[in-house]
Amino acid sequence: MRIYLDNAATTPLCDTVLEAMLPYLKNNYGNPSSTHQEGRTARAGIERARKSVALAIKASTSEIIFTSGGTEANNTAIKCAVRDLGVQRIISSAVEHSCVFSTVNRMRNEQIEVELVELDSTGRANLEHLERLLKEGSKKTLVSLMHANNEVGTLNPIDKIGALCKQYDAYFHTDTVQSIGHIPIDVSKLNINFLSGSGHKLHGPKGVGFLYINKHNIIDAYIDGGGQERKVRSGTENVASIIGLGKAIELAIEHLEARRIEIEVVRDYFIQELKANFPAVHINGDYAGAYLFTVLNVSFKTSTPINMLLFKLDLKGISASGGSACNSGAVTASRVLTTLGIPEGYHSARFSFSHFNKKEEVDYTIAQLKEIV
């Protein structure tokens, strides 16, 4: 028996998604750029998927491009905003996913000024500081702040951040890789210029994602070639995976509320049992306020190093993580948790849920943790 509590790293592919993909791996093998029947069938599938993604965030289909995942979507947004939109200054944060954090850092080499917004103890951007930064700068600015933090689950108020960006004439890019399909997002009501998503965080396939580019922001090619994906991202499309992403996001939106309730029941039970069995436990992030319900980051007062703790859990059949998946296996401390400051003598694990998790799995996990911690 395996208990999978690492859904922020990736989620299992849902059966309906696989069924939707299979014809495009077999019979519908056409190149979507071909004009014959096979090509037209593949093209029609891609455009249906684009419609599903657009509908999910209330965008128009012309504002969605498919990418190889969240990493590429975020790279495209930031690098193209600098190259094509005259951005000379970026305001971001120390708790962004490394694909944003490293990209922003790299932009320093392009003579881009970088400011990091202050955060509260849960990892949420301080809006007063953000406003001060926006007010004082004279250079064209891009604000890049994530919606849900992938390690601790804290949510940023993207409505308010968007409004500030509008007020001070800055561009706004938000990484919604963790939140899309879990928390409703309506770009028609928010001031967002770029927004990223990824298939494998919502029971879709890996290696596919999307970038929403607001229709008023014209960017040039990020990958040159045959001119696919509105000439921004050339290369023959990953047809089956795009179909999978489309189906996965459709299902996530259709079952959003039902899945949320199921996951919150398991998560609440986990928190209750953690507090009852580990009185010194510390839960990181804004876990009781504005949070992403799939993520729970827990610090245990223990002398067992986190890698050992995770290893022992794994041996018992439980998959959890020490932070983001990119960090798993690494001995280095999580940048996010170091930024937020974890008390001395505590070690942190991330448990992340999907609607496939059950309360009985929590009972087993708590029993194992009692032996290990």
Ligand X SMILES: Cc1ncc(COP(=O)(O)O)c(C=O)c1O
Positions annotated as catalytic residues are 326
Q: Which is nearer to ligand X, 150 or 299 (CB)?
A: 150
**Among 91, 134, 177, 372, contact with ligand X (rule: CB under 6 A):** 177
* Residue of minimal Cβ distance to ligand X: 70
Q: Pairing relation of β-strands 171-175 and 141-144?
A: parallel
Rounded-to-integer distance, Cα 105 and Cα 366, Å: 40
Q: Which is nearer to ligand X, 81 or 146 (CB)?
A: 146
Q: What long-range pairs does 309-316 form, CB within 8 A, spacing at least 24?
A: 309/347, 309/349, 309/372, 309/373, 310/349, 312/368, 312/372, 313/349, 313/365, 313/368, 313/369, 313/372, 316/368, 316/372
CB of 306 to ligand X, least distance (A): 18
Secondary structure, 3-state, 80-95: HHHHHCCCCEEEECCC
| Contact assessment for residue 284 and residue 343, using Cβ atoms and an 8 Å cutoff | no
Does 352 engage in binding with ligand X (CB under 6 A)?
no
Rounded-to-integer distance, Cα 369 and Cα 310, Å: 10
Span near ligand X by CB under 6 A; candidates 35-43, 172-180, 214-222, 307-315: 172-180
**Among 11, 71, 93, 357, contact with ligand X (rule: CB under 6 A):** 71
Q: Which is nearer to ligand X, 266 or 295 (CB)?
A: 295
Does 324 engage in binding with ligand X (CB under 6 A)?
yes
CB of 330 to ligand X, least distance (A): 14
**At 7, which helix (H) or strand (E)?**
none
Q: Could you tell me which of 75, 74, 78, 49 has the C-alpha nearest to residue 238?
A: 49
Does 70 engage in binding with ligand X (CB under 6 A)?
yes
Q: Which two tokens stand for residue 228?
A: 């696919």
Span near ligand X by CB under 6 A; candidates 12-20, 35-43, 160-168, 175-183: 175-183
Q: Which is nearer to ligand X, 24 or 210 (CB)?
A: 210
CB of 303 to ligand X, least distance (A): 29
State which amino acid sits at residue 137.
G
CB of 326 to ligand X, least distance (A): 7
Beta bridge partners of 298: 283, 349
Q: Which two tokens stand for residue 1?
A: 């028996």
Does 322 engage in binding with ligand X (CB under 6 A)?
no
Does 69 engage in binding with ligand X (CB under 6 A)?
yes
Does 228 engage in binding with ligand X (CB under 6 A)?
no
CB of 29 to ligand X, least distance (A): 25
Does 146 engage in binding with ligand X (CB under 6 A)?
yes
Rounded-to-integer distance, Cα 148 and Cα 110, Å: 28
Does 123 engage in binding with ligand X (CB under 6 A)?
no
**Among 99, 117, 202, 239, contact with ligand X (rule: CB under 6 A):** 99
Does 209 engage in binding with ligand X (CB under 6 A)?
yes
**Among 178, 193, 241, 321, contact with ligand X (rule: CB under 6 A):** 178
Does 202 engage in binding with ligand X (CB under 6 A)?
no
Per the document, the length of the chain is 373
CB count, 10 Å around CB of 156? 25
CB of 261 to ligand X, least distance (A): 23
Rounded-to-integer distance, Cα 345 and Cα 282, Å: 11
Span near ligand X by CB under 6 A; candidates 68-76, 81-89, 180-188, 241-249: 68-76
Rounded alpha-carbon distances, angstroms, from residue 278 to 281, 340, 353: 5, 21, 20
Beta bridge partners of 233: 223
Q: Which is nearer to ligand X, 146 or 274 (CB)?
A: 146
CB of 9 to ligand X, least distance (A): 7
Which residues make Cβ contacts (< 8 Å) with residue 269, sequence separation at least 6?
359, 362
List residues binding ligand X (CB under 6 A). Answer: 69-71, 97, 99, 146, 150, 175, 177-178, 198, 209, 324-325
